[in-house]
Structure 1
Amino acid sequence: MSRPLAIDDLYRFAVPGDPDLSPDGERVVYTLTTQDAAQDRPVSCLWEVRADGGPPRRLTCGPADSSPRWSPDGTSVAFLREGRLHLLPAAGGEAVPVGGDDHQHGPPVWSPDGTRIACSALVPRKDENAPVVVDRLWYKADGAGLLGQGGVHVFVIDVASGDTRRLTSGDIRAGAPAWSPDGTRLAFAAALADDRDLTGRYPVQVIDATAEGAEPRAAGFTAGTAGEVVWYADGTALLVSGRTTVSAGHEELFRLPLDGSEPVPLTTSLDRNVMTGGPGYPGARPAFVGDDILFCARDRGVTRLYRADAAGITELPLPAGTGIGGCSVAAKAGRAALITADRATFGEVALLDLGTGEVTALTGHTADALPDVTLYPVTEREFTVSDGTRVHGFLIRDPGAPAGGPLLVDVHGGPHNAWAPHADAAHLYHQELAARGWTILALNIRGSDGYGEDFYTAAVGAWGEADERDILEPVRELIGEGLVHPRRVALTGYSYGGFMSCWLSARSDVFAAVVPGGVVTDLRSDAGTADIGPPLTEIEIGGLDRQAELSPLTYVDGVRAPTLILHGDADERCPAGQAEEWFHALRVRGVPVRLVRYPGASHLFILTGRPSHRADYCRRVVDWVTEHTVLDGRGADHE
């Protein structure tokens, strides 16, 4: 007999990610993340599943194994164990460390001949207790803390000897490198100009990987921001994700010739944001299939798979409702390994035949881990707000729940992220509240990704002002339909959603309870204290006057709703001082308020942090909104 998903079920989750398909297309190595209750930590191990079927098998025991990458000859897998490079024989055996450095490596990248591995790596401070001396901004990063002037550099490790060579120097932040087809050069994104911390520019660099003392040279995107870099087969150009200007808007794919010519846009006609992947932003690195390009982009909340060829761009017809959370291509085998998600699964490994389009599921981790659980359905809704804008979103509720019950509005982060209609391993309070008769409304408001660039940029320079109606008017519509009770409406959100929760609670009396998480409340102080504060604030908001006008703290006198603030103590993206300012402002004004701080927790702790913190976060949301939306005994029909 099935039951609803409970918050404590997070200790049973088994979620796959980061697939890598062997060169012959026969074996998929991937990570599987579970939770260790005794140690209070996530555990990531390497698993393997064969393309021809059979049960998956575990290859390593973790607890922090990640980024598996097959060697070009398919005889070994390079991976990271707690940030250090290791090799695992494909035929079986123990993993062995490679290289003698103590750096925190990024994903390994094999040279075409399989003799070397390149990666970007964080160079740690030599003495954690020594003063940190900095001359530029961006001297810290969420999840890593203070970086000082150590930087993130490009390294090459000789596989046979373990000899490690650093190719870059100075105070730089290098992105993931890519080998040229002949194995002589590496391309990567990195800012080298003296004013790099002020401009936000992140050009593409190319460096000779064979010569001692070689210096990187800028190859393009000198006025823009580059992301993932992939070489064309003839070595004359690079496939680059990014933007040619430092501005808000869609990330696109470009062909960047190495003869000094301007980048050529490849995906503008799609009018969708290219998704290269990251925590909370599902996608995958673009890859070549012959002359065609396989890449991910988001549409109406779902990350989809596309193919660009000489005739244009087409979406690959995956099973209805399927979203992509990872993709690895074995071009010669005509196959791709995918991480797929849908309304019933948190993620599974699947195999895509690039010729026929057939998708074959290879794992069933969600069903194995939660065989007795059934998720409440997600239904789509669209609302037309007063200026004619169409706002798309999702309702989660028990179909048997009576009308006139409580409503939780949840605002996503970003602001350029989006809700998806898939099983959600982070916001477990959705299912818990649905089991108690609540309706959950998850709206992709102005600024959300997946609805075209005009919609994506519609709240730039107008956070809160432009998009508040996208929340308030749909709520009024649901109240008018009789689906929810007008005095039992609660509001929550994280990151940008935390900003909007504070903003709306100061400018509206609709909400009976508010739970902002990972908040920004004063855009001026956030600009000077967040790890990416200045570029983000200037691009998204503007100057100091506008920052003041759009700060929730400016309107705090209007807050009446009981407020629970949830925040990570080690959050460098939205520093904890933002939560303290809101807490102080509400407390001295006599508003019922509580602040909960999670020790050691970064901004992404609700996705990747301690399971005890994640469970506590979800329980507190449930308890707070339940407590503060109880009617006063005058009856559900009283207004």
Structure 2
Amino acid sequence: MTRPLNIDDLYRFAIPANPVLSPDGDRVVYTLTTQDAEQDRPACSLWEVRTDGGPARRLTRGPADAAPRWSPDGTTVAFLREGRIHLLPAAGGEAEPLATGEQEHGGGVPVWSPDGTRIAFAAPACRPDPAAPVVIDRLGYKADGDGAFGPVRTHLFVADVATGETRQLTDGDFHAGPPAWSPDGSRLAFSASIGGDTDVTGASAAYVIDVDAEGAMPRLTGPATGLTGPVDWFADGTALLVVGRTTVSAGHLALLRQPLDGGAPVALTGALDRNVMPGGPGYPGALPQFRGGDIVFCARDRGVTRLYQLSADKITEFPLAEGTGVGGCSVAAKAGRAALLVSDRSSFGEIALLDLDTGSTTRVTEHTAEALPGVTLHPATEREFTISDGTRVHGFVVRDPKAAPHGPLLVDVHGGPHNAWSPHADPVHLYHQELASRGWTILALNIRGSDGYGEAFYTAAIGAWGDADEKDVLEPVAELVAEGLADPGRIALTGYSYGGYLACWLSARSDAFAAVVPGGVVTDLISMAGTSDTGHDLFTTEIGDRDRQVALSPLSHVDAVRAPTLILHGEADDTCPVGQAEQWFHALRVRDVPVRLVRYPGASHLFILSGRPSHRADYSRRLAGWVTGHTALRTAGADHD
């Protein structure tokens, strides 16, 4: 017997991530996240699976173990436990903290030196006093999930593995990005925004610092006028591999070769015309890694993060099974294999082994099937629509194949604005499966601005949020109505973050929607620019002109909104501050539009991905209840008329 997925299944999820392959290629350590209902929190522990077969086994008890990294000799796994680096013997035993005694700083993702004697990491240089005034002189003074950090800066540290003795390498009014060891272990490379006005310009660059030289200062490796993300070293030690852009602008990230002599960076992946994906919450991918002289990296194409290899000037895609997406990758070059985190239409994520020579893959875990036996998912099928200006918009339709046509339709807009929907099993938007079981059709569109369709499509809504992409939603909806798949009286609209922005915008621009549920909303671009942790950089690159910020704010058009609206928002959201939701609620309430605001205490912008399970379940239940109830009311009203 099988049954469909429901919202309460959230508490049964077991989702792997962060696979790391041992240097000999024999063992994969990874994190597994479950949900602790009693404590109302996610629980994360380390697991291991052997590459020669056998069941996965648990290594640690958690509840907040993350970022495992193998030592170069394969004898030890370093990882983060509640903000401190711990060491776990690979042969078995208890994990012990790396440093003894109290540290003024916490830990960061551990990076082993090539000889395995030291670990580098980036961490706050001091512990802030929560009762002290927060003095702010520069932009970028807060971060979603952490709040305002004032003068506290993240810097580089190096710890001796044998003694735990820890030294701080960098200092100053800047944040140091994650470090990378040079091949000879004498230097660290990292990214940073160093300079008097980089908080305003948004520019960042790659730097190198000597590890053992007393009082060494970071050295700039190239132009300081671009966007620099994760860095690594080429094997000869003369250049850095950088994920970034040569300008501060919206567009694809690329792989860049940055010579240490200060020369101009060289783009390595421009011919692909796809966005390099180093990985992050809600943005599946993996850091680029070397395989001899080749580079293995991730980029997104048509909603799916794929795995590629750059060999000299040639880029080829690894032939994974159709529809398989990659959310993590760890290369053991000497073993000729990689460990992958893969997702598809039936699994939220599993660990697989990739033969780097043949391209063949073998799954070595089945956590989704084991956690949810007998549960089936309503399928996501691809659709493509031609918009009136000739633009082709790709997306996915989720519905029960047995559902009758002419039923209710939910349109869901993704965030970003440069994210994208995928066809994979979705552990976040559980209301999709819940509503599909009730006879709904869900339309998830990768409108212009979405990632995975080339840079021209990626930048097509720059300076024109709402204006440029509203037809990408409204015209496909009209097409589904014309086909008879959707009932025009029972159409609802939702979206989160940028999707919340567009849901508010469209509710003022169209009367097609019987109910609207914006989450993590953006409603006033002027106040958003000055209160969001990313607002200044976002609107400098995305909108720019103040007059456009006013014109493109949903709040400027709120008089036209009539649809019953449920607003869902985290109270500790520093990316889209809760004031955005409060303004929309106030504007609708005083205009007598049916409206409800739900605030989730302590919830950051990413709470729908990794927050309290009770909040995430509540989000899906409220959304499903609102759209079901108000579309039924609208239909009943029409029938009565």
User: Shift in Å at residue 633 of structure 1?
Assistant: 6.4
Match for residue 370 of structure 2?
Answer: 368
Match for residue 627 of structure 2?
Answer: 625
Matched-pair contact (CA < 8 Å) for 2:345–2:380 = yes
Deviations 1:457-491 (A, max 9, x none): 00010000000000000000000000010010000
| Partner of residue 123 from structure 1, selected from 122, 125, 139 | 125
Whole-angstrom distance in 1 between the partners of 2:73 and 2:635? 72
Q: What residue ranges of structure 2 are gaps of 5+ in the alignment?
A: none
SS of the residue 2:608 aligns to? helix
1:271 corresponds to 2:273: yes
Whole-angstrom distance in 1 between the partners of 2:147 and 2:126? 11
Match for residue 521 of structure 1?
Answer: 523
User: Shift in Å at residue 636 of structure 1?
Assistant: 8.8
1:600 corresponds to 2:602: yes
| Partner of residue 491 from structure 2, selected from 483, 486, 489 | 489
Deviations 1:120-176 (A, max 9, x none): 112354311000111101010001111111111111111111111111112212111
Q: How does 1:4-83 map to 2 (within 5 A)?
A: 4-83=4-83
**Amino acid of the residue matched to residue 621 of structure 2?**
R
| Partner of residue 338 from structure 2, selected from 324, 336, 339 | 336
- The structure 1 segments of at least 4 consecutive aligned residues displaced by more than 4 Å after TM superposition are 631-639
| Partner of residue 242 from structure 1, selected from 241, 244, 254 | 244
SS of the residue 1:386 aligns to? coil
Whole-angstrom distance in 1 between the partners of 2:394 and 2:126? 44
Match for residue 156 of structure 1?
Answer: 158
1:571 corresponds to 2:580: no
Whole-angstrom distance in 1 between the partners of 2:635 and 2:158? 69
User: Shift in Å at residue 319 of structure 1?
Assistant: 1.0
Match for residue 197 of structure 2?
Answer: 195
User: Shift in Å at residue 212 of structure 1?
Assistant: 2.1
| Partner of residue 205 from structure 1, selected from 201, 204, 207 | 207
**Amino acid of the residue matched to residue 286 of structure 2?**
A
Whole-angstrom distance in 1 between the partners of 2:152 and 2:236? 35
User: Shift in Å at residue 544 of structure 1?
Assistant: 1.2
Q: How does 1:452-601 map to 2 (within 5 A)?
A: 452-601=454-603
Match for residue 355 of structure 2?
Answer: 353
SS of the residue 2:38 aligns to? coil
Matched-pair contact (CA < 8 Å) for 2:223–2:262 = no
**Seq. identity, %:** 72
**Amino acid of the residue matched to residue 80 of structure 1?**
L
SS of the residue 2:77 aligns to? strand
SS of the residue 1:220 aligns to? coil
SS of the residue 2:537 aligns to? helix
**Amino acid of the residue matched to residue 52 of structure 2?**
D
Match for residue 87 of structure 2?
Answer: 87
Whole-angstrom distance in 1 between the partners of 2:578 and 2:266? 42
Whole-angstrom distance in 2 between the partners of 1:140 and 1:45? 28
1:140 corresponds to 2:138: no
Q: How does 1:305-454 map to 2 (within 5 A)?
A: 305-454=307-456
SS of the residue 1:582 aligns to? helix
Structure 2 length-normalised TM: 0.98
Matched-pair contact (CA < 8 Å) for 2:105–2:127 = no
Q: How does 1:243-258 map to 2 (within 5 A)?
A: 243-258=245-260
SS of the residue 1:431 aligns to? helix
Whole-angstrom distance in 1 between the partners of 2:86 and 2:289? 25
Deviations 1:338-382 (A, max 9, x none): 000000000000000111111010000000000120000110000
Matched-pair contact (CA < 8 Å) for 1:124–1:147 = no
Indicate how the Cα distance of structure 1 residues 637 and 583 shifts in structure 2: closer, same or farther if over 3 A, else same: closer
Matched-pair contact (CA < 8 Å) for 2:145–2:574 = yes
User: Shift in Å at residue 638 of structure 1?
Assistant: 9.5
User: Shift in Å at residue 218 of structure 1?
Assistant: 1.1
Matched-pair contact (CA < 8 Å) for 1:125–1:148 = no
Matched-pair contact (CA < 8 Å) for 1:485–1:636 = no
**Amino acid of the residue matched to residue 146 of structure 1?**
A
Matched-pair contact (CA < 8 Å) for 2:489–2:635 = no
- Count of aligned pairs between the two proteins: 639
| Partner of residue 115 from structure 2, selected from 106, 113, 116 | 113
**Amino acid of the residue matched to residue 517 of structure 1?**
G
Whole-angstrom distance in 1 between the partners of 2:263 and 2:636? 72
Matched-pair contact (CA < 8 Å) for 2:18–2:31 = yes
Matched-pair contact (CA < 8 Å) for 1:101–1:164 = no
Q: Bigger CA drift: 125-134 or 419-428?
A: 125-134
Whole-angstrom distance in 2 between the partners of 1:632 and 1:32? 44
SS of the residue 1:536 aligns to? helix
Whole-angstrom distance in 2 between the partners of 1:607 and 1:102? 30
Matched-pair contact (CA < 8 Å) for 1:568–1:597 = yes
- What do you get for the CA RMSD once the two structures are aligned? 1.2
Q: Bigger CA drift: 163-172 or 69-78?
A: 163-172
Matched-pair contact (CA < 8 Å) for 2:191–2:229 = yes
User: Shift in Å at residue 538 of structure 1?
Assistant: 1.1
Whole-angstrom distance in 2 between the partners of 1:632 and 1:587? 19
SS of the residue 1:277 aligns to? coil
Whole-angstrom distance in 1 between the partners of 2:635 and 2:570? 37
**Amino acid of the residue matched to residue 604 of structure 1?**
L
Match for residue 217 of structure 1?
Answer: 219
Matched-pair contact (CA < 8 Å) for 1:142–1:572 = yes
SS of the residue 2:632 aligns to? coil
Whole-angstrom distance in 1 between the partners of 2:351 and 2:246? 34
**Amino acid of the residue matched to residue 276 of structure 1?**
P
SS of the residue 1:11 aligns to? helix
SS of the residue 2:368 aligns to? helix
Indicate how the Cα distance of structure 1 residues 638 and 181 shifts in structure 2: closer, same or farther if over 3 A, else same: farther
Whole-angstrom distance in 2 between the partners of 1:237 and 1:377? 46
Whole-angstrom distance in 2 between the partners of 1:179 and 1:247? 29
Deviations 1:591-630 (A, max 9, x none): 0000000000000000010000000000010000000000
User: Shift in Å at residue 635 of structure 1?
Assistant: 9.5
| Partner of residue 232 from structure 1, selected from 234, 243, 255 | 234
Matched-pair contact (CA < 8 Å) for 1:8–1:615 = yes
